[in-house]
């Protein structure tokens, strides 16, 4: 029998990274990305540029650079995965049902309406407790080119790169957890990752919806569409307020009818929320078959991680497949897996007994960089409140 090293050299292939190490490295990539965002925000806070230029440069640097090139580049360096593995790990699968994509557009519109109500409530709460909102000049749509740049920098880039770093990467890190765990943790984290208190609650609500869609479809592409639609509607309503053409008047009339009275506003929010709930349930059903193709049967259920003792036979199986194994090696692998499963079940039972039978989520070492990054983003968010608090 050839040694593992000999067979590896013969085929010039690389051994796969063990599951725990892979998770830890992905966590480090996420932590570096979040820290990079905090550093970039601090730098731009001290730069003097016109509002438009500053916003566009910051958006390109943050979205394309820190949230795009950094995590994808580090993935290639630290994980050394193929392009297909990168697509799978970052949940960039596009082969979904046309119905899923159609529903994503409508969900984006409903999310925008619902989040309008959330933003209003959050604004009233913050101002009531003494927070003073910043009062920037805002975007002046003097030329069509400014609108195009705004759509690119505030709609397209965040929809792509925030979903890659804040959704796709985190879903890969927490791939062994239940759907509920991922939706709640990653969804609420989206609010903290915006690193400013005015966006905290609206982004958290949007994060829950976007993560639900990404988890249930096995892809962040529908979430990108929803994210784009939400940001696009914000941009286009701001544009319509400054223009008098037919399209702008139409958009302004729709917005005015919604905000004309508290009753109309409440009806719009409740109606959008009911439609949103219905669409999310239908989305789950429509996306299920493709999700099982992407994540495998039974996706969404917590898994008990088993780690058989390392052996040459098992490494041969992982790298080259069963055809290179002898019958004796296959029996050895089977025995190793059975023993590992028994050991994992015993350990799981002991943990359950130790915690009074309650399934507790234990902090594992591989998730520590994520925790550090989220705590850092949380502190940064709190500071944005403290610096503008006027009791």
For 7-25, the DSSP string reads HHHHHT--PPPPHHHHHHH
Residue 11's pLDDT is: 42
What is d(CA 185, CA 12) in angstroms, rounded to the nearest whole number? 40
| DSSP helix, strand, coil percent of the chain (3-state; round to 5) | 75, 0, 25
Cα dist from 370 to 68, 132, 176, 185, 378, whole Å: 18, 31, 15, 11, 12
For residue 2, the model assigns a pLDDT of 46
pTM over 0.85: no
Number of other CB atoms surrounding residue 54 within 10 Å: 14
Provide the 8-state DSSP code for 389. B
CB count within 10 Å of CB 43 equals 11
Residue with token string 């580090």: 74
Q: What is the pLDDT along the chain (391 residues), one digit of tens a residue?
A: 444 444 444 444 444 567 788 999 999 999 999 999 999 988 877 766 566 777 888 899 999 999 999 999 999 999 998 899 999 999 999 889 899 999 999 999 999 999 999 999 999 999 999 999 887 667 888 888 999 999 999 999 999 999 999 999 999 999 989 999 999 999 999 999 999 999 999 999 999 999 999 999 999 999 999 999 999 999 999 999 888 888 888 888 888 888 888 898 899 999 999 999 999 999 999 888 888 777 766 666 555 555 555 555 555 555 555 665 677 776 776 777 767 666 765 665 566 555 544 444 445 788 999 999 999 999 999 999 998 887 7
Note the pLDDT tens digit of each residue in 92-105.
998 898 999 999 99
Q: Measure the CA angle with vertex 224, ends 205 and 219; round to 5°.
A: 95
């Amino acid at each position: 029998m050839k040694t593992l090293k000999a067979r590896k050299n013969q085929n010039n292939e690389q051994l796969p990274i063990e599951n725990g190490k892979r998770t830890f490295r992905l966590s480090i990539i996420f932590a570096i990305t979040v820290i990079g965002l905090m550093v970039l925000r601090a730098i731009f806070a001290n730069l003097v540029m016109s509002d438009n230029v500053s916003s566009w440069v910051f958006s390109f640097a943050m979205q394309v650079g820190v949230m795009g090139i950094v995590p994808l580049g580090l993935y290639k360096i630290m994980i050394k995965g193929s392009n297909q593995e990168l697509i799978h790990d970052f949940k960039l699968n596009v082969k979904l049902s046309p119905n899923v994509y159609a529903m994503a557009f409508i969900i984006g519109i409903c999310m925008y309406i619902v989040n309008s109500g959330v933003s209003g409530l959050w604004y009233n709460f913050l101002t009531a407790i003494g927070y003073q909102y910043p009062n920037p000049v805002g975007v002046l749509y003097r030329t069509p080119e400014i609108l195009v740049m705004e759509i690119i920098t505030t709609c397209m880039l965040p929809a792509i790169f925030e979903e890659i770093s804040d959704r796709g990467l985190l879903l890969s890190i927490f791939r062994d957890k239940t759907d509920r765990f991922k939706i709640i943790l990653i969804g609420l984290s989206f609010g903290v990752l915006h690193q400013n208190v005015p966006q905290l609650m609206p982004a958290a609500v949007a994060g829950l919806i976007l993560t639900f869609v990404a988890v249930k479809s096995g892809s962040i592409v529908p979430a990108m569409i929803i994210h784009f639609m939400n940001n696009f509607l914000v941009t286009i309503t701001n544009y319509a307020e400054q223009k008098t053409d037919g399209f702008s008047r139409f958009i302004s009339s729709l917005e005015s009818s919604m905000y004309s009275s508290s009753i109309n506003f409440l009806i719009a929010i409740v109606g959008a929320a009911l439609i949103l709930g219905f669409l999310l349930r239908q989305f789950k059903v429509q996306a299920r078959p493709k999700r099982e193709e992407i994540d495998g049967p039974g996706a969404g259920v917590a898994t008990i991680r088993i780690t058989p003792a390392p052996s040459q036979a098992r490494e041969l199986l992982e790298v080259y497949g069963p055809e290179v194994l002898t019958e004796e090696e296959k029996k050895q692998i089977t025995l190793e897996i059975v023993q590992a499963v028994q050991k994992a079940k015993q350990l799981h039972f002991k943990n359950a007994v130790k915690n009074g039978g309650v399934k507790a989520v234990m902090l594992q070492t591989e998730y520590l960089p994520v925790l550090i990054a989220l705590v850092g983003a949380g502190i940064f968010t709190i500071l944005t409140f403290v610096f503008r608090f006027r009791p």
